């Protein structure tokens, strides 16, 4: 292939090269017939194929061919199941092959910074590690079928408000620790064929023409060698974009961007070699896609529907279950009232570019009717209309109350109406429509056994109403088979095993991005820094509605003690920490537990989140069975990104390793001491007195110039403890200007020269 690419590069005219850096239409790369270079097709999206039929003309936003609608990313994220994500990926890859699509435009790994982001249903988690591991599996799955993926939207695209213009103003540490790692891990471990740049600006520069992001970080540091494609319409200056590392513009601004590239090369503004780099990447993609096309591809849509059903079961999160109300054990002669329009008109996906035309849709009400034992009466009442916002239709509500009265259980389907969340805009609040909450109150007043089933893509507040329900099952937007999955879970043929991939706060105001979302005047400041999601709630010691990682089961699990095994040393770059924890199914049903490993740097010199997820293991256990969760940690897992040294820094000291069933339900912990060379920014004239004294060679040098007292203290004014408390944080250059300090500028220059050769201790 490499030879072919080189040969083609020689044969292409400048105009043809420029044309290859743009699509030929909304969904195809440009062909060059003269040289036998075909066009390949790309199509959305993360949880199902959205391919525009041949005859359609509207950018695929209205019509698409039938395809399996798998659970949305918000749901899949809650599965915490890497194997499942891979299976879904494989199925999507097969459907793409069958439809002649070469690149699927997903997964989306943007972090859920605020619960208000309109596209949160398309993203996996508020946690970068969870997002990265799941996305890696997904990409490996799709690409195992000879179909590429597009890891999107790179980067810091965490809102829809003003999404094409807004500048996400984010410090580098926050990017490195929160917004980059899911991309970094997926790039390193799954090599997605394409990465899609986001619409927004990052610290003032449009991402589509951001050389640091698209070249220095993505390629030079992470080793990415695939194609960077623009989000649809994200290119503003084609020449600047190609220079920054953006290879393929979609959709193409035909006659404009191609001409700009040609003219820039002719005028000398753009080196042809730079254009060639992008052309070569596009050619490699086309070659890879063409070679990987299967001869007679088919997709087993029945099997995919069954997979969608299993996946939806894995994603549902049992938030509460008082007195083990679930699973419902209904016997002949008993009655269940199924209430809520969503039981009949399911909401199972979000709107925008990811919207799939499902091959079929399971309706929960029908599935429950089919699944209950013979002789169980299933009553239905809509309770509210999908358009009802604050007030329910009184007639519908009254009918529902009558249906619930005297029933042996009430299954109430609540959720966000479709208009509440979509690509293109953010939400303004996190509440369910008041009409639904009022209906729940009325249900609870006539029946103690109310189960709430939620259908929503972004988190909704539960704190104002969940005390009225005996059980709450969060089903997210669970894809086309969610109706059947819900029946399986309600009636106990499946056991819930999803865990929250995002915190449900008590109040929207508790979200640490609250004051800075969605920004204004063209800027959104990520003022909360690394304290996103549970990292922020924990640092503020806030109570939450339901914590990150939470999810109940119909069985129970017990955790054993941690066994920690440390090998190697950070200084030798081979530090490995293995953490093992046994987990036993102590209940009476088979079930799955997600053991979660968090790390806490006990004495960090910078503000670090109290807990950070560094691994997870989903264990499938029969009653009485014990399994072992094993986690492997390396130096990076214990490090933070230092703005001062512009690198990852592991600080020596104690680290707590905590394993639990959620971020707020730690079941076993151990502390391990880790040795590491001291890393500090090189000392200079602007380093403070305390920084000099904290550095062994700096302190020595200073003592050499100023001398020491009999008891070993630094001599002179700077050694005076009282004075040090007041001016210890002054840079040395300022101190050298003070008359009463026995250090002049010449001394300082000598000091700086003396320590300048010292290594900073970077590993
Ligand atoms: C979305 C992308 C999508 C693309 C193509 C854009 O508006 O942001 O996620 O892949 O359209 O439909």
Mind listing the pLDDT tens digit for each residue in 120-153?
999 999 999 999 999 999 999 999 999 999 999 9
Three-state DSSP class for residue 660: strand
Q: CA-to-CA distance for 409 and 6, rounded, in angstroms? A: 69
**Which residues are the active-site residues?**
231
> Mean pLDDT over all residues of the chain?
96
Cis, bond preceding 413 (omega within 30 deg of 0)? no
* Strand bridging mode 357-358 / 66-67: parallel
Residue showing tokens 């191609």: 258
Decide: 238 in ligand 1 pocket, CB within 6 A: no
* Residue 110 confidence class, pLDDT cut points 50, 70, 90: very high
Q: What is the pLDDT of residue 759?
A: 44
- Nearest alpha carbon, ligand 1 atom 7: 232
CA distances from 556 to 323, 330, 350, 621, 665 (A): 14, 22, 33, 10, 13
High-pLDDT (> 90) share of the chain, %: 91
- Exposed e or buried b for every residue in 84-115, given b needs 16+ CB within 10 A? bbbbbbbbbbbbbbbbebbbbbbbbbbbbbbb
Decide: 309 in ligand 1 pocket, CB within 6 A: no
- Exposed e or buried b for every residue in 216-237, given b needs 16+ CB within 10 A? ebbbeebebebbbbbbbebbee
* Residue 34 confidence class, pLDDT cut points 50, 70, 90: very high
Which atom of ligand 1 is found nearest the CA of 198? 8
Q: Which two tokens stand for residue 120?
A: 């949160």
Q: Which two tokens stand for residue 436?
A: 């639904």
In a mutational test of the pocket of ligand 1, which residue from 231, 350, 424 has the highest number of ligand atoms less than 8 Å from its CB?
231
Q: What is the pLDDT of residue 176?
A: 98
Cβ distance 86 to 141 under 8 Å?
A: yes
C-beta neighbour count of 178 within 10 angstroms: 27
Three-state DSSP class for residue 698: helix
- Nearest alpha carbon, ligand 1 atom 4: 232
Gap from CA of 694 to ligand 1 centroid (Å): 51
Cis, bond preceding 708 (omega within 30 deg of 0)? no
Q: CA-to-CA distance for 172 and 557, rounded, in angstroms? A: 40
Q: What is the pLDDT of residue 675?
A: 96
* Residue pLDDT, tens place only, 329-349: 999 999 999 999 999 999 999
Gap from CA of 231 to ligand 1 centroid (Å): 6
Provide the β-strand partners of residue 594: 618
* Residue pLDDT, tens place only, 252-264: 999 999 999 999 9
**Cα angle 400, 404, 407; round to 5:** 150
Task: Give the residue ranges of DSSP H helices in 117-180.
Answer: 128-143, 172-174
* Residue pLDDT, tens place only, 265-283: 999 999 999 999 999 999 9
Decide: 232 in ligand 1 pocket, CB within 6 A: yes
- Nearest alpha carbon, ligand 1 atom 3: 353
Q: What CA dihedral angle connects 397, 400, 401 and 406, to 10 degrees?
A: 180
- Nearest alpha carbon, ligand 1 atom 6: 232
* Residue 652 confidence class, pLDDT cut points 50, 70, 90: very high
High-pLDDT (> 70) share of the chain, %: 98
Decide: 44 in ligand 1 pocket, CB within 6 A: yes
Which of 84-98, 237-251, 266-280, 741-755 shows the lowest mean pLDDT across its residues?
A: 741-755
Category of 479 on φ-ψ map: left (φ > 0), alpha (ψ -120 to 50) or beta = left
CA distances from 176 to 184, 255, 647 (A): 9, 38, 9
Which atom of ligand 1 is found nearest the CA of 152? 9
- The larger pLDDT score, comparing residue 549 to residue 704, is at 549
Cβ distance 496 to 476 under 8 Å?
A: no
Residue showing tokens 């279950």: 321
């Amino acid at each position: 292939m490499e030879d072919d690419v080189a040969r083609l590069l020689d044969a292409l005219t400048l105009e043809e090269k420029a044309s290859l850096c743009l699509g030929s239409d909304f969904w195809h790369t440009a062909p060059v017939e003269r040289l036998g270079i075909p066009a390949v097709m790309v199509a959305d999206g993360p949880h199902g194929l959205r391919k525009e039929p041949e005859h359609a003309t509207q950018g695929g936003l209205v019509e698409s061919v039938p395809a399996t609608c798998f659970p949305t990313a918000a749901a899949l994220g809650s599965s915490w199941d890497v194997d499942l994500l891979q299976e879904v990926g494989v199925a999507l890859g097969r459907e793409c092959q069958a439809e002649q699509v070469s690149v699927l435009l997903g997964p989306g790994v943007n972090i859920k910074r605020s619960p208000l982001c309109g596209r949160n249903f398309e993203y996996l988690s508020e946690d970068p590690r969870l997002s990265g591991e799941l996305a890696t599996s997904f990409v490996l799955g799709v690409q195992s079928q000879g179909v590429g993926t597009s890891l999107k939207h790179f980067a810091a695209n965490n809102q829809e408000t003003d999404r094409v213009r807004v500048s996400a103003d984010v410090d580098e540490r926050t990017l490195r620790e929160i917004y980059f790692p899911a991309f970094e891990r997926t790039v390193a471990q799954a090599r997605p064929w394409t990465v899609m740049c986001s619409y927004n600006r990052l610290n003032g520069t449009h991402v589509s023409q951001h050389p640091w992001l698209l070249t220095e970080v993505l390629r030079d540091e992470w080793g990415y060698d695939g194609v960077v494609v623009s989000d649809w319409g994200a290119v503003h200056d084609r020449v600047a974009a190609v220079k920054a590392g953006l290879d393929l513009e979609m959709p193409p601004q035909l006659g404009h961007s191609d001409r700009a590239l040609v003219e820039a090369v002719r005028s000398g503004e753009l080196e042809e070699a730079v254009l060639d780099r992008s052309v070569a990447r596009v050619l490699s993609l086309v070659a890879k896609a063409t070679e990987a096309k299967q001869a007679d591809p088919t997709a087993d849509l029945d099997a995919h529907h069954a997979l969608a059903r299993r996946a939806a079961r894995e994603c549902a999160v049992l938030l509460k279950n008082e007195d083990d109300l679930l699973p419902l054990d209904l016997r002949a002669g008993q009655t269940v009232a199924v209430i809520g329009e969503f039981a009949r008109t399911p909401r199972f996906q979000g709107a925008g570019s990811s919207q799939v035309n499902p091959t079929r849709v399971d309706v929960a009400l029908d599935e429950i009717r089919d699944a209950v034992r013979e002789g169980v009466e299933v009553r239905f009442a809509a309770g509210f209309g999908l358009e009802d916002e604050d007030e329910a239709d009184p007639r519908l509500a009254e009918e529902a109350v009558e249906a619930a009265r005297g029933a042996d259980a009430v299954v109430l389907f609540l959720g966000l109406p479709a208009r509440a969340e979509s690509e293109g805009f953010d939400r303004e609040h996190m509440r369910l429509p008041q009409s639904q909450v009022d209906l729940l109150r009325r249900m609870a007043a006539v029946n103690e056994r109310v189960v709430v089933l939620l259908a929503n893509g972004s988190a909704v507040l539960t704190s104002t109403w969940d005390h009225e329900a005996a059980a709450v099952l969060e089903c997210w937007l669970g894809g086309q088979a969610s109706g059947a999955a819900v029946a399986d879970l309600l009636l106990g043929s499946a056991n819930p095993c999803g865990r929250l991939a995002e915190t449900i706060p008590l109040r929207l105001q508790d979200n640490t991005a609250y004051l800075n979302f969605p920004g204004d005047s063209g800027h959104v400041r990520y003022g909360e820094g690394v304290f996103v999601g549970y990292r922020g709630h924990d640092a503020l010691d806030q109570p939450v509605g339901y914590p990150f990682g939470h999810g109940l089961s119909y069985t129970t699990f017990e955790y054993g003690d941690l066994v920690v095994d440390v090998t190697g040393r950070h200084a030798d770059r081979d530090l490995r920490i293995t953490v093992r924890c046994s987990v036993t199914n102590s209940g009476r049903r088979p079930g799955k537990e997600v053991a979660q490993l968090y790390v806490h740097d006990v004495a960090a010199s910078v503000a670090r989140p109290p807990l950070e997820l560094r691994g997870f293991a989903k264990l499938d256990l029969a009653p009485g069975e014990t399994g072992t969760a094993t986690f492997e940690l390396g130096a990076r897992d214990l490090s933070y990104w230092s703005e001062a040294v512009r690198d990852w820094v592991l600080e020596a000291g104690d680290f707590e390793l905590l394993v639990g069933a959620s971020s707020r339900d730690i079941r076993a912990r151990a502390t391990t001491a880790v040795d590491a060379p001291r890393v500090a920014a090189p000392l200079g004239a602007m380093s403070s007195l305390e920084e000099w004294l904290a550095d062994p060679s700096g302190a020595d040098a200073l003592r050499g110039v100023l001398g020491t007292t009999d008891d070993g203290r630094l001599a002179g004014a700077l050694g005076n403890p009282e004075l040090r408390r007041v001016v210890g944080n002054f840079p040395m250059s300022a101190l050298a200007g003070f008359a009463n300090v026995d250090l002049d500028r010449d001394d300082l220059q000598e000091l700086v020269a003396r320590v300048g050769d010292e290594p900073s201790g970077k590993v």
